[in-house]
Amino acid sequence: MSEALAPAAIVVTTAPMLELAGVTHVFDVSRPWLQRTLAREPRRTLRAVDDLSFSIPRGTTLSLVGESGCGKSTVARLSVGLMEPARGTIRFEGEPLSTARAQPALRRRMNMIFQDPYASLNPRWRVRDIVAEPIRTFGLAHGSAVQERVDALLTQVGLAPQDGEKFPHAFSGGQRQRVSIARALSSAPEFLVCDEPTSALDVSVQAQILNLMKDLQQRLGLTYLFISHNLAVVRHMSDQLGVMYLGRIVEMGPADAIFAAPRHPYTRLLLDALPDLAHPGRSRTSVGGEVPNPIRPPSGCTFHPRCKLANARCRAERPEQIAAEGVLVACHAIEEGRAS
């Protein structure tokens, strides 16, 4: 990639690139007005994200994991301004995200890689036009320089400049995701939200894409918010790890510390399901029960119906995050010393 394509070299510091403080997002899932009126039903809401707070230092990767429906993708869309929070603040390098949306110079510094590499690409456009669209939109190059920049981006993600003449359907899943990454990089961003970028790919292709993303982060100084339900992928990518359950973060801290010694009962169950070649015959405990209805979540700790450590306090009082050996955990059993 030419110097004009790459952002300035970035040194990892403690200054946050992205910061969320008390962010809540609510979806209205009510039936149409007439049906509600005839049935005398009140409005129904789903709190997809509930009082979420975290920050991502520049040049690092924060991963969010959890079961489907826990609010990970909603956080991804909130983080790049595709949704407005109902409450709380989101700041990008100290600026409110609403300011970033209004100012192209700030907006171009963030981008997103979507889960489905085919659905996120316009099937009627050639790859060269897909990758060039952000370049033209932000006025980063003009004339023949646009094509030169597209060729450099395709080469950088492991494709050939000639691939720009093809349509998305001519590529495999892994190649389409490389096109998506090239498009995400075309505005020379510093912050990328990666929403399940490898879940639609087979294992061998997943490894190629993950290695590509790690290499790009090291060379370009990128900051990632990485969304996944695959703990093996998260272990490979993360500096910090947040475990989500029904819209809340139940455990957060350095990824190595959490993988080495998980504290929250939910995190323990998730990690216990990971294959372990060192102990092939070890008995495992799966995450039992069903995810509660998010429209009517349980009282107190929302994980208590599935937790063997739950007591009366867990059923009545929502736990707040406490510091425990370098990580933040929201669990009464940890606070009271009942978790061995």
Q: What is the pLDDT of residues 204-240, one digit of tens each?
A: 788 888 999 999 999 999 999 999 988 888 988 999 9
Q: What is the pLDDT of residue 287?
A: 65
CB 239 within 8 A of CB 255: yes
Q: Please report which helix (H) or strand (E) contains residue 256, including its range.
A: helix 255-260
CATH class belonging to 16-109+188-336: alpha beta
Task: For strands 322-324 and 223-227, give the pairing.
Answer: unpaired
Tokens, residue 29: 């899932």
pLDDT exceeds cutoff 60 at 106: yes
Place of tokens 């400049």: 161
Question: Which one, of 153, 169, 172, 163, lies nearest residue 212 by Cα?
Answer: 153
pLDDT category of residue 279 using cuts at 50, 70 and 90:
low
Q: Distance (Å, rounded) from C-alpha 212 to C-alpha 229?
A: 20
Q: Distance (Å, rounded) from C-alpha 333 to C-alpha 337?
A: 6
Q: Distance (Å, rounded) from C-alpha 233 to C-alpha 112?
A: 18
The secondary structure of residue 139, as a DSSP letter, is T
Q: What is the pLDDT of residue 11?
A: 44
Rounded to the nearest 10 degrees, how much is the dihedral formed by the CA atoms of 30, 34, 38, 43? 20
The CB density around residue 292, as the number of other CB atoms within 10 Å, is 16
Q: Kindly report which listed range (100-114, 116-130, 223-237, 249-263) carries the lowest average pLDDT score.
A: 100-114
Strand partners, 18: 56, 92
What is the arithmetic mean of pLDDT over 127-156?
A: 93
Q: Would you list the domain boundaries of the chain?
A: 16-109+188-336, 111-187
Rounded to the nearest 10 degrees, the angle between the axes of helix 127-137 and helix 144-156 is 120
Cβ burial of 289 (10 Å; 0-12, 13-18, 19+) is exposed
Task: For strands 248-254 and 240-245, give the pairing.
Answer: antiparallel
Tens of pLDDT, residues 170-207: 998 889 999 999 999 999 999 999 998 888 777 878 88
CB 132 within 8 A of CB 186: yes
To the nearest whole number, what is the mean pLDDT of the chain? 87
Q: Distance (Å, rounded) from C-alpha 201 to C-alpha 133?
A: 25
Q: What is the pLDDT of residue 85?
A: 92
DSSP assignment of 311-338, as one string? -HHHHHSPPPPEEETTEEE--HHHHHT-
Q: Distance (Å, rounded) from C-alpha 201 to C-alpha 180?
A: 13
The CB density around residue 23, as the number of other CB atoms within 10 Å, is 22
Q: What is the pLDDT of residue 104?
A: 78
pLDDT exceeds cutoff 60 at 5: no
